[in-house]
Structure 1
Amino acid sequence: MRGRSAARPAVAGDRRRSFRAAVKSSLPRQGEPDGRDRTRLPELRSALWCAAGLLAVMLLVDLANGTLAHWRALCWTAVALALFAVLYPPRVSAGEHWLASRGLVRTCVVRTDLLVLVRHSDGMSPRLVLRDALGGRVELDPEVLTANPLLWHHLEQGVRLSRARGVLRCGAAPLRELAERIDHDGARAVFEASGLG
């Protein structure tokens, strides 16, 4: 009996690892058309400019005071790199039944057809938290979904499957609010493009 119960978590873990490996290999590369965040580039540029600006100001202040040394320049460079790491926007991409968020250090993947929880967490920057039945967890800015209809479409398809399978029991309210906001923004964009808005 012990051998069987020990084998079950190992099988589930193997399934989870093989799914994550398959998703990571199918993540879109640079320039490939797929469900990915098209608004990330300006955020990445602004993170680079902020870090570079901070480094330049600190080096200029040290230079003006005559206190610039090699070790101080290295310290300021480390501070600028830390700021860039904090401001670095994750690359969000999606495909059939998966959504991934790739940061500087790791990639988080969630199966959208096996979602068990969708939660909206408020704070300094609002986040949408997605958790699947395999233990996958992704946090992302809801603005990414409102600005990228293809990402939202992939997520919505997975959510429908999760509901049909009966695994998604918590999260209807945040998804409904997000869907209404995306519909409202889409309708307003259509009106503005047609000259009616």
Structure 2
Amino acid sequence: MGRRFTRSTTREQTALAEPSGPLAHDIHWADERRTAIGVTSLLYTALLVMDAGFGTLDMSRGALWTGLAVLVFVILLPLRVSTGPGVLSARGLLMGHTVRTDSLVSIRWADGVAQRMVLRDTEGSVVEIDPTVLVRNPAMWHRFDEDARTSIRRDTLLCGATALRQMAARIDREAARTVFKISGLQ
């Protein structure tokens, strides 16, 4: 008789398909979240105090300042980036995106005010992150670099080897700068 596939078999297959191993998280994310909360709270308090001082604070203006504070918080809150074997995830306040780093198709820099790195995998998933997250988190960089090299070996990385080399050079410069600073040679 043929084998019947059940929901548990599908879960087992999914668990086997996903690489397992330790996750590396952005060690500075909590500090940046606290900063976003602090800046937002300070702005909100300043707006309410100023409005109350001028005698113009009412329900509609209070709602306006609350909305503005929430908007500023959403803008300032950084993505929570983590890497695992073969995976990089970026989670925001409402949504998250994951890309397979062991089967990347492209790594490119996005133009704009803030420097962004856009990663695309063979499944069509896209993640956009701040490259300084990888620069300041050695464990994340090591995991990402290892998987990106796997993409190069598998010939799936069609665009971005130059961006990867630029990132590696930037991280090497930061590491050397840190070593010089710690040793007092700077």
The answer to whether TM tops 0.5 is yes
Q: What secondary structure, in the 3-state scheme, does the structure 1 residue paired with 2:83 have?
A: strand
1:101, distance to aligned residue in structure 2 (A):
0.4
Matched, 1:188 2:174: no
**For residue 128 of structure 2, what is the aligned residue in structure 1?**
139
5+ residue gaps, structure 2 = 1-9
Matched, 1:48 2:37: yes
Aligned counterpart for 1:39 among listed residues 28, 51, 55: 28
Moved more, 72-81 or 103-112: 72-81
**For residue 66 of structure 2, what is the aligned residue in structure 1?**
77
Aligned counterpart for 1:95 among listed residues 84, 91, 110: 84
Moved more, 139-148 or 47-56: 47-56
**For residue 161 of structure 2, what is the aligned residue in structure 1?**
172
1:191, distance to aligned residue in structure 2 (A):
2.4
Q: What secondary structure, in the 3-state scheme, does the structure 2 residue paired with 1:93 have?
A: strand
Q: Give the residue type in structure 1 aligned to 2:138.
A: P
TM-score by length of 1: 0.81
- For the 8 Å contact 2:23–2:85, the answer to whether it is kept is no
Moved more, 164-173 or 46-55: 46-55
Q: Detail structure 1 runs of 4+ shifted over 4 Å in the superposition.
A: none
1:184, distance to aligned residue in structure 2 (A):
1.3
Q: Give me the whole-angstrom Cα distance separating, in 2, the residues matched to 1:34 and 1:121.
A: 26
Q: Give me the whole-angstrom Cα distance separating, in 2, the residues matched to 1:192 and 1:57.
A: 39
Aligned counterpart for 2:152 among listed residues 163, 169, 172: 163
Q: Give me the whole-angstrom Cα distance separating, in 1, the residues matched to 2:32 and 2:123.
A: 31
Q: Give me the whole-angstrom Cα distance separating, in 1, the residues matched to 2:92 and 2:23.
A: 18
Matched, 1:60 2:13: no
Aligned length: 173
Q: Give me the whole-angstrom Cα distance separating, in 2, the residues matched to 1:35 and 1:139.
A: 17
1:53, distance to aligned residue in structure 2 (A):
1.6
TM-score by length of 2: 0.85
Q: Give me the whole-angstrom Cα distance separating, in 2, the residues matched to 1:50 and 1:195.
A: 34
Aligned counterpart for 2:140 among listed residues 137, 151, 165: 151
Q: What secondary structure, in the 3-state scheme, does the structure 1 residue paired with 2:89 have?
A: strand
**For residue 10 of structure 1, what is the aligned residue in structure 2?**
none
Aligned counterpart for 2:110 among listed residues 121, 130, 145: 121
Q: Give me the whole-angstrom Cα distance separating, in 1, the residues matched to 2:134 and 2:156.
A: 22
Q: Give the residue type in structure 2 aligned to 1:170.
A: C
Q: Going by fraction, where is helix more abundant, 1 or 2?
A: 1
Q: What secondary structure, in the 3-state scheme, does the structure 1 residue paired with 2:78 have?
A: coil
> Identity of counterpart residues, as a percentage?
42
1:67, distance to aligned residue in structure 2 (A):
1.7
